[in-house]
Amino acid sequence: MRLSIPASAFVAAIVGFGGTLVLIIAASDAVGATQAQTASAVTALCLAMAVESLYLSWRTKMPVISAWSTPGAALIGASSGFTVEEAVAAFIITALMLIVTGLFRPLTRLIAKIPASVASGMLAGIVVTFAINAVKTIPSDPWLILPLIAAFFVFRLLNPALSVLAVLVGGGLAAFLTGRVGGLPAPELSTLTLIAPDFSLSSAVSLALPLYLVTMASQNLSGLAVLRAAGYHPEPGPLITVTGLVSLLTAPFGALTSNLAAISAAICTGPDVHPDPAERWKTGPFYALFYLIFAIFGASLVAIFAVLPQSLILLVAGLGLMGPLANALAIALKDESERMAATTAFAVTASGLTLLGIGSAFWGLLAGLAVLALDSLKKRQ
């Protein structure tokens, strides 16, 4: 076996975990989770990655890699007025919808028919808040933040996939060496904490439905596209069903929805992994092993993040979403005939509008689809 197989799996795991962990912490903070509940969520998510990637790769003999929903974490992190119990209920509902989608093929096709421009406009509206908050950290600690921003844009010229991780590690070391961190917490093993769900119509519409849509449109469909681009053609239904089932099992521990990976999968599916496509599935078990290690030490990692300066956390979260924001905006504005609908979805979502107890992501999607429908009627006249 080539060394490139475990090496690629390690890079994919590091990029997926280290580059977006701050978003999981931000999402937990937004719903008022305790540090123990946040650690539980991280541990459960890592276990989900391990189980899904191991089983799906072995079962299909393809490099099927899973990840947590980055836009989903941004969605939860940008929300307000919800409790961790309501968030868990939303995760359960989302998981059930994913299972149903995987079992009934027409639903997958229906989600695929949502215009990419409108879905991307909604996604851009969700993540732009984090990018703006990253810029807003500059006045609070310019001597720490400005060099890190410069390092990010320089490093991404060399290695875009690791640029956010470099800022996180470099910023953490700088904060520690300059006395911005009081002291590192003692190492501890992870534990899982059960959280009783609190079902409500508001969380179902404001959290569960948008989470389902961004997970399907921005993650699962993209993950399938990456596999197809690499020459693999898995049946979508079973893959989505498995990620939905695992998400259902991990949701009571505070875990966000898991799904097919796109960026991490791209690292594990190319010819650099192995010249023979039939051998690349072996990245799955190694990827699972690394996530199992992350699960064991998830509590310590969350504790370390808890003592880092808040400005650094906000900065890393914002920089980590710059790429997805740029990609979402490019897709949203690509088709001139759909630009107004996509812009409407972006503006309404980014506004943070809450109406009838329902959050802005839902209204943004609805507004974008409404404008698109009106434009379609005009064309038919």
Structure tokens at 240: 């989505």
Cβ neighbourhood burial of 147 (10 Å; 0-12, 13-18, 19+): middle
User: Which of 364, 37, 28, 13 is CA-nearest to residue 191?
Assistant: 37
Q: Residue 208 above 90 pLDDT?
A: yes
Q: Which residue has the tokens 């520690």?
A: 176
pLDDT in tens, 244-302: 999 999 999 999 999 998 777 877 887 878 888 899 999 999 999 999 998 998 788 77
pLDDT in tens, 345-370: 999 988 888 776 666 777 888 899 89
What pLDDT does residue 172 have? 83
* CA distances to 115, 129, 176, 313, 354 from 307, in Å: 42, 23, 10, 10, 32
Predicted TM-score (pTM) of this structure = 0.77
**pLDDT tier for residue 230 given thresholds of 50, 70 and 90:** confident
Q: Sign of the CA dihedral 13, 48, 257, 240?
A: positive
pLDDT in tens, 102-138: 998 787 777 667 787 888 888 788 778 878 988 998 9
**pLDDT tier for residue 164 given thresholds of 50, 70 and 90:** confident
Distance CA 151, CA 171 (A): 10
In degrees and rounded to multiples of 5, residue 22 shows phi and psi of: -60, -30
Asked if 46 contacts 294 with a C-beta cutoff of 8 angstroms, the reply is yes
What pLDDT does residue 197 have? 96
Structure tokens at 133: 């908050």
Asked if 302 contacts 37 with a C-beta cutoff of 8 angstroms, the reply is no
Structure tokens at 316: 């890393």
Percent of the chain whose pLDDT exceeds 70? 96
- Looking at residue 270, what DSSP letter applies? S
Asked if 91 contacts 255 with a C-beta cutoff of 8 angstroms, the reply is yes
In degrees and rounded to multiples of 5, residue 196 shows phi and psi of: -70, 125
Query: Of 45-54, 130-139, 159-168, which one has max mean pLDDT?
Result: 45-54
What pLDDT does residue 375 have? 81
Query: Which residues are registered as beta bridge partners of 66?
Result: 260
Q: What is the mean pLDDT of residues 56-60?
A: 95
pLDDT in tens, 8-33: 888 788 777 876 788 898 899 999 99
Structure tokens at 328: 């979402």
